[in-house]
Amino acid sequence: MTHFESHVLWNPAWSALRGAAERVPRDVARFHRSMPGFAASPLVPAPELADQVGVRHVFVKHEQERLGLPSFKVVGASWAVSVAVAREVGREVGREVGQAGFTTYDDLARAAAGLRGEVVLSTATDGNHGRAVAHLARLLGLGSRIFVPADMSEARVDAIRGEGAEVVVVEGSYDDAVRRAATEAARSGNELLVSDTSWPGYTEIPEAVVTGYSTIFTETVEQLAAALGEDAGIDVAVVPVGVGAFASAAVRALASGSCSVVSAEPTSADCLWQSLASGERVVVPGPHESSMAGLNCGEVSLAAWPLLQRGIRAATRVSDIEAVAAVRDLAALGVATSESGAASLAGLRRLRLDSRAGSLLRPASTVVLFDTEGVTDPASYADLTAGVQAGTSRTDAETTGVAGRA
């Protein structure tokens, strides 16, 4: 076994989830389209990457901006807030998948107006989810309380404060912040917890976050059909993983038999990898200090785990150096992203180096890289991409320092 093979894990419990895609509800995309300023994120063709990897197509679904925020997170958070507020005002739930929120954003806004002064939205975050919840609270005229780990970058904390949130800095890791947010919400009586990770007794809202993400996959399938024709399918989808909520949405939407969902995690916060290897959820203790800040999580979400265990075909783990190389290479293609977002390109490259990758990455394959973030820290992005010019994409032998799979 080479050093590189140890960075791809073929999930021993994987099984094709036939029919899983049917469970994606239609209401959700309709709700998102009703939000002022909501627009689809681009699906960017990357023929240079397709050549490098030896497949027919690579596309980058680039979550550079959603509702003015630089990541995909508000897509899940908005549906989850809609469900949480619906429950708070005692609205009937139980339509479609048992997670009904409001049909339109206006319905949500009207109901939230009646909760002003009574309810504060809260969550723990490693950056984007908390910013998204704070942003929604501001739009709806509600307060927000966001719990962050002590080592979060100043730029991320400032962005959350900029949404008018009270930021509570928790000594310890993201997982410590999750526990604190849960304890305080239970104690406070006025905090409406909108967490994207779940634990025993708290799964409904995190499941609504996952349901909300379905809009991203609906869009991707439509955009691919527009680019390649109605019959176009995704053969391999690569997704970055923190607690695995987004990956579980990818599994639910795409892993219906023909599409393989592949995960990408930091080597230093590889909780999904470790869990798949052990056959049960495993905690990877912090501190998690990867520069892939959105992926610094030590525990897979309870609600996400069953789908991930059956639906992830292969797991990859990538180093910070590989993520930075991927940021630079995406910059050369005109895609401005962060280390967390670029993890999927780094994961694809790890996969390609594996001796079994040929079964997924065939000459006729279509690969979609889910790039979950735009630029969150412009100063650091400028440093990382110094000297890169569009149209100068490098080979992966240059970026990883190793030759490709024979």
Ligand X SMILES: Cc1ncc(COP(=O)(O)O)c(C=O)c1O
Chain positions contacting ligand X, by CB under 6 A: 71, 73, 126-129, 196, 240-247, 294-295, 297, 340-341, 372-373
| In the complex, least distance from residue 118 CB atom to ligand X, rounded to whole angstroms | 29
CB of 294 to ligand X, least distance (A): 2
One-letter amino acid at 108 equals L
- For ligand X, the closer of residues 140 and 308 by Cβ is 308
Instruction: Give the span between the Cα atoms of 406 and 384, in whole angstroms.
Output: 31
Q: How far is the CB of 209 from ligand X (least distance, A)?
A: 8
* CA atoms of 73 and 192, how far apart (whole Å): 18
In the complex with ligand X, the residue whose CB is nearer, 112 or 250, is 250
Q: Of 302, 244, 233, 232, give the one whose Cα is nearest residue 273.
A: 244
Distance CA(126)–CA(7), nearest Å, equals: 24
Report in angstroms how near the CB of residue 89 gets to ligand X at its nearest.
27
Contacts of 216 (CB under 8 A, 6+ apart): 41, 61, 63, 72, 75, 249, 370
Provide the minimum distance between the beta carbon of 67 and ligand X in the complex, in angstroms, as a whole number. Answer: 15
In the complex, residue closest to ligand X by CB: 294
Main-chain dihedrals φ then ψ at residue 264, nearest 5 degrees: -135, 125
Measured from the CB of residue 70, what is the shortest distance to ligand X in angstroms? 9
Minimum distance of ligand X from residue 340's CB (angstroms): 4
- Cβ proximity to ligand X: between 14 and 174 the closer is 174
CA-to-CA distance for 105 and 123, rounded, in angstroms?
Answer: 21
Which is nearer to ligand X, 43 or 247 (by Cβ)?
Answer: 247
Bridge partner list, 370: 61
Nearer to ligand X, 101 or 240 (CB): 240
Q: Which is nearer to ligand X, 286 or 341 (CB)?
A: 341
User: Which neighbouring-strand residues pair with 169?
Assistant: 148
Q: Choose between 86 and 251: whose C-beta lies nearer to ligand X.
A: 251
CB of 228 to ligand X, least distance (A): 26
Min separation Cβ 201 and ligand X, Å: 20
Q: Which is nearer to ligand X, 207 or 365 (CB)?
A: 207
> Alpha-carbon distance 288 to 151, whole Å?
9
Closest CB 357 distance from ligand X, rounded Å: 23
Pairing of strands 236-240, 366-371: parallel
Distance of alpha carbon 82 from alpha carbon 360, whole angstroms: 38
Asked if 387 and 328 touch (Cβ cutoff 8 Å), the reply is: no
Question: Given the complex with ligand X, which of 101 and 212 has the nearer CB atom?
Answer: 212
Which residue, 253 or 295, is less far from ligand X as judged by CB? 295
